[in-house]
Amino acid sequence: MKQTPLGNWRRAIKPSILELKNVHTYYGNIHALKGISCTIPSGDIACLIGANGAGKSTTLLTIFGVQRAARGEIRFKGRPIHRLRPEQVAVQGISQAPEGRQIFARMTTLENLEMGAYLRNDKAEVAGDMEWVFGLFPRLKDRARQLGGTLSGGEQQMLAIGRALMARPELLLLDEPSLGLAPKLVEKIFETILEINKNGVTIFLVEQNAHMALSISNTGYVMETGRIVLTDSAAALLKNEKVKKAYLGE
């Protein structure tokens, strides 16, 4: 596939919140990201789809500073962040719910959520945000005193997202939120992603379920072997014959 530019129709409407320009990332001698560039408009949901091993999770890890970009530039709200550590990136207004959830198994649900707010200075407003998260995920309120490691897979995914939201991010990075979940829970997770977005949070979503991801997104990116090879509106990608054959099972 050849990369196509994102149309001016969206950039004319909304300013970008996140920009990646020619970003390269390595794991030792392995060249994982090979000069990727993309732009996430403020207030949108953007998704990154592709096969396993294409570099999707590495993209989010590089944005969040867990994996250092060797070359290129990452800007959040116009400010460079590609040299910052993860905790410094978080302070800027970015949160991540990582692949595999990575909750604190020996902490309670409530303690996990409180950890999401540990960098905040507005402690008076944390309680209100906790109630918002419980409103999004009522199961978490029911299990507030339960250890994270004893929650079901779906509940742990809710907790991972809720913990990320407790940082009150402007940009939320979601890595495979539907992985390993039953179909009904997948629907619930994607409905909640839409609700989070309606509350003003921009979302960059990495997801194996390409059809669901594109269905809720404004913009889509297709990644192959460390490169973004196709960029378009999500609606257009759902109709793209190559995308349908390669990623949508049609």
Is the Cβ–Cβ distance between 30 and 148 less than 8 Å?
A: no
Q: What is the pLDDT of residue 120?
A: 87
In the predicted structure, residue 187 carries a pLDDT above the cut 50: yes
For residue 86, what are its two tokens? 């993860």
Degrees to nearest 5, angle at CA 100 with 194 and 63: 70
Domains in the chain and their CATH numbers? Answer: 1-93+171-179+204-250 (3.40.50.300)
Residue-wise burial string across 6-43, b where 16 or more C-beta atoms lie within 10 A, e elsewhere? beeeeeeeeebbbbbeebbbbeeeeebbeebbbbbbeb
What does the pLDDT look like over 81-120, one tens digit per residue? 999 999 999 999 999 999 887 899 999 999 999 999 998 8
In the predicted structure, residue 4 carries a pLDDT above the cut 90: no
> Cα(196)–Cα(95) distance, rounded to whole angstroms?
13
How many of the other CB atoms lie within 10 Å of CB of 247?
A: 21
- Specify the amino acid at residue 37: S
Confidence of residue 13 (pLDDT cuts 50, 70, 90): low
What does the pLDDT look like over 154-168, one tens digit per residue? 999 999 999 999 999
Is the Cβ–Cβ distance between 159 and 142 less than 8 Å?
A: no
Nearest to 2 by CA among 231, 214, 217: 231
Is the Cβ–Cβ distance between 113 and 146 less than 8 Å?
A: no
- Lowest mean pLDDT segment, chosen from 117-126, 147-156, 210-219, 230-239: 117-126
Degrees to nearest 5, angle at CA 9 with 187 and 35: 75
- Lowest mean pLDDT segment, chosen from 12-16, 121-125, 136-140, 151-155: 12-16
Q: What is the pLDDT of residue 250?
A: 67
- Lowest mean pLDDT segment, chosen from 39-48, 129-138, 182-191, 196-205: 182-191
> Cα(210)–Cα(71) distance, rounded to whole angstroms?
29
> Cα(94)–Cα(89) distance, rounded to whole angstroms?
6
> pTM (2 decimals)?
0.90
